[in-house]
A and B are shown apart, each in its own frame.
Chain A
């Protein structure tokens, strides 16, 4: 066995070791246990197909990319048409949430934050989850979602602004 083979993990090992991580990302994206389970199942099938070509690196980055894409594919399939994202032009200024109660935001419960996430357009949700749940940098998010970095900046900031509005 050569070095590469040793560093490519076995599928069952990935499932067991990263199952909770994938489930967490899936739950943040879908907002409920049943859809999260379906998504994890889909992700693990994709992992099975992708493992032979996996290049040792950030396993969590790779898995969250697969999870996000599986999620967005499913959203598109269900709608049978492309995502109707809000326009991405970076110049559009986010309306300031006048009167937003910062104290309320600060004490928001995880369930409230999750509900606000689910209220986001899927493309924005995916960017925010990759940034703030997974902790990826903008370059990796751009690569994962197949969009320019400027779009990632815009989606993350506007996503956060929309979350604030939802929790205000």
Chain B
């Protein structure tokens, strides 16, 4: 059998079939080079597996969630607005004392306006009739 090559890692990772495994182990028993290769690969594998988890910068994930919420309400509000528009037709404005006293305003304006005819409330004409020139 040739040297194990790529099979070294697959053997370490438990990724060989039963047949491949048996053949690989038989080869290892008689091949110091492959045993060395195996030991070195195992050491390297442990180093990578031993790398610690990494904390994202403080507030990073929460910032992404909040940014997403700010972006997404556009869609949520559009849907809500459509519903409100449909429902809104059935809703009448409230009449709780906001109607302006129009009559009183007109009266006050009429009595306070200075000059002019008291009946028509029209002032003297400020523009003379235009005469046509020949």
* Residue pair A97, B40 in contact (C-beta under 8 Å): yes
* Residue pair B53, A20 in contact (C-beta under 8 Å): yes
Beyond A105-B43, A164-B40, A164-B44, is A157–B10 a contact (Cβ under 8 Å)?
yes
List, in ascending order, chain B residues with CB within 8 A of A91's CB.
5
Beyond A15-B65, A24-B53, A102-B40, is A90–B6 a contact (Cβ under 8 Å)?
yes
Instruction: Tell whether A74 is near chain B: CB-to-CB under 8 Å.
Output: no
Interface residues contributed by chain B, number (CB under 8 Å): 35
* Residue pair A160, B45 in contact (C-beta under 8 Å): yes
* Residue pair B57, A157 in contact (C-beta under 8 Å): no
Instruction: Tell whether B79 is near chain A: CB-to-CB under 8 Å.
Output: no
Instruction: Kindly state the separation between the CA atoms of A137 and B14 in the bound complex, as whole angstroms.
Output: 9
Partner of A163, one of B37, B48, B60: B48
* Residue pair A157, B8 in contact (C-beta under 8 Å): yes
Instruction: Kindly state the separation between the CA atoms of A19 and B53 in the bound complex, as whole angstroms.
Output: 11
List, in ascending order, chain A residues with CB within 8 A of B39's CB.
102
* Residue pair B40, A23 in contact (C-beta under 8 Å): no
Interface residues of B (CB under 8 A from A): 3, 5-10, 13, 15, 33, 36-37, 39-41, 43-45, 47-57, 60-62, 64-65, 68
Interface residues of A (CB under 8 A from B): 11-12, 15-16, 19-21, 23-24, 27-28, 33, 36-37, 40-41, 44, 48, 90-91, 93-94, 96-97, 100, 102, 105-106, 108, 110, 113-114, 117, 128, 131-133, 135, 137-138, 153-154, 156-158, 160-161, 163-164, 167
